Amino acid sequence: MATDDPLILIVDDEPAICRNCIKILSKMDYGVKYAFSGYDALKMIGENQFDVVITDLKMANLGGMEVLRQLKKAHPETMVIVITGYASVSSAVEVMKMGAFDYLPKPFTPHELRAVVHQALVEREMLLQNQRLRYKIKHQKSFSHQLIGDSPKIKKVITMVQKVAPTDSTVLVYGESGTGKELISRAIHANSARKDKVFFAVDCGTLSDKLLESELFGYNKGAFTGAHKNKDGIFKLAHNGTVFLDEISNIDLNVQSKLLRFIENREFLPLGSTAIQKVDVRLIFATNQDLKKMVDQGSFREDFYYRIFVYPIMVPPLRKRKMDILPIAYHFLRQFNQALGKNISGFDDNIISKLTEHDWPGNIRQLRNVIERAVILCEKDQITFQELPLLGEMDDTGQLIDYIPSTNEDFKRVKKEIRHKAVLKVEKNFIMNALTKNDWNVTRAAQKVGLQRSNFQALMKKHNIKLPRYGQSNP
Ligand SMILES: Nc1ncnc2c1ncn2[C@@H]1O[C@H](COP(=O)(O)OP(=O)(O)OP(=O)(O)O)[C@@H](O)[C@H]1O
Ligand SMILES: [Mg+2]
């Protein structure tokens, strides 16, 4: 075991269970210790810094509840997983309320144990990260405009930016909407020899083909109706600078072929002119589309594709680099604190997993909007669930109740959602209660509550309720 391997304590008065857990977990590069009673466990907790404690609930010498209670008081950052053969809905609810990370009914499979320990370690890392960032926000006055993130994925992007920035190479930045493609393109310019020259951003998605062409290449008087005088295009205006062509997938085939010529020798003809012009510009392209697929479908020129695919930088979506979520959230918190004259010190530990487990389909832009809204709403020292209802929507009815609708439509939608979620919750409790009260005998449970067995089973399936393995009467 290496010194920085996670340290885990197993507490169970049945030696066989301890042995079994040790066997399962020591394959994972974890350091594992054990105690046969709650009393011994508390002694060991005083002497070691455990990352995760797995404790049985019912033990002769000091039970799991007490271990959990004392541990949470002394080491709130230690993750506690409760295991027990006496599972019941109420004890599960109780240990979760007392701050347990999770609850694992016996018997469990090695895979289940490994999975829950892994999740606990991830959560613990996030909470520690939150602590560090909370400390930093207090002690760091200014913030940088750089690309934020510690994940290996964003670090790779940063290295790629650093390597290509000083060259004149054409770059293609691609990734989902809101991942930071424009920010990366600006960083390339800012780290190049052209940094004091102009950076021209052109949104190819919003301009018609004709307009885009005349904007890029310029035109001579009389080139088309309305061309009353000569006009310089962006390429000429950006001489010695960088031109960023955003949403390149929207360019039509005709403009693509003109751009292809321009990429090859930086020469172009303004519309209606016969005098070739030559400029020195660096080109950066961006897209959120799969250009290769467009090539296969015939809507993107293959030669153009290969000409811009010289140095592609793939920007991964936020959900693939969860480690970056908190540092970026704190970055925006600092920004909006400053902009809105607030002094919010961080995010409440209880919402960290909500932030990091959220899917963020709109990526960093969505995160930015959510934080901005939270900072506006927050009147306390820390941001809690109350200010993050947009995430709550995806989770529990309880959080949804705190949501503040902005329009009548919004209100109606939330009303429907709350009703739907509340019914789901009650339905699940209903089925679980019937099962636990009837020793997990489906036929008897269905009969007792007055449902047909098939309907009862359908509800079990809907809520993903599985019978305990090994035919035990109590899970
Ligand atoms: N790594 C990062 N660190 C800090 N802020 C970031 C980071 N990446 C993106 N941002 C911020 O997120 C927001 C969205 O980024 P950007 O506009 O560059 O995304 P995009 O990929 O161009 O989106 P779209 O495809 O919708 O145009 C911006 O406010 C940007 O400053
Ligand atoms: Mg963009």
Tens of pLDDT along 404-439?
666 777 787 778 777 877 788 788 889 888 888 888
Confidence of residue 139 (pLDDT cuts 50, 70, 90): low
**In the prediction, which pLDDT does 429 show?**
83
Does the fold of domain 408-471 match that of domain 152-314? no
**In the prediction, which pLDDT does 456 show?**
93
Element (H, E) at 246: strand 242-246
Could you give the maximum distance between any two Cα atoms of the chain, in Å? 96
What is residue 430's three-state secondary structure?
helix
The identity of residue 290, as a single letter, is D
CATH code of the domain occupying 7-137:
3.40.50.2300
367 CA: nearest ligand 1 atom: 12
CA–CA distance, 347 with 380 (Å, rounded to integer): 11
Q: How many CB atoms lie within 10 A of CB 126?
A: 20
* Least distant ligand from the CA of 184: 1
Tokens in use for 27?
Answer: 């394959």
What is residue 136's three-state secondary structure?
helix
Cβ < 5 A residues, ion ligand 2: 182
286 CA: nearest ligand 1 atom: 22
Confidence of residue 151 (pLDDT cuts 50, 70, 90): very high
The listed CATH number (1.10.472, 3.30.230, 3.90.15, 1.10.10) that belongs to domain 408-471: 1.10.10
Lowest pLDDT segment from 18-22, 136-140, 244-248, 256-260? 136-140
Rounded to two decimals, the pTM is: 0.69
- Mutate which of 246, 289, 365 for ligand 1? The one with the most ligand atoms within 8 Å of its CB, which is 365
CATH code of the domain occupying 152-314:
3.40.50.300
Tokens in use for 11?
Answer: 């507490």
Domain 319-401 is of which CATH architecture?
Answer: Orthogonal Bundle (1.10)
CA-nearest residue, atom 29 of ligand 1: 365
Residue 245: which of 277, 296, 290, 199 has the closest Cα?
Answer: 199
Residues with CB under 6 A from ligand 1: 147-149, 154, 177-183, 288, 328, 331, 364-365, 368
* Least distant ligand from the CA of 174: 1
Under 8 Å between Cβ of 249 and 291: yes
**In the prediction, which pLDDT does 87 show?**
64
Q: Is the pLDDT confidence value at 136 over 60?
A: yes
CA-nearest residue, atom 10 of ligand 1: 180
Residue boundaries of the structural domains of the chain: 7-137, 152-314, 319-401, 408-471
Helix and strand numbers, DSSP H then E, in the chain? 20, 16
Residue 331: which of 280, 378, 368 has the closest Cα?
Answer: 368
- C-alpha 246 to ligand 2 mean position (Å): 6
Give the Cα-Cα-Cα angle 257, 258, 263 (nearest 5 degrees): 95
- C-alpha 164 to ligand 2 mean position (Å): 20
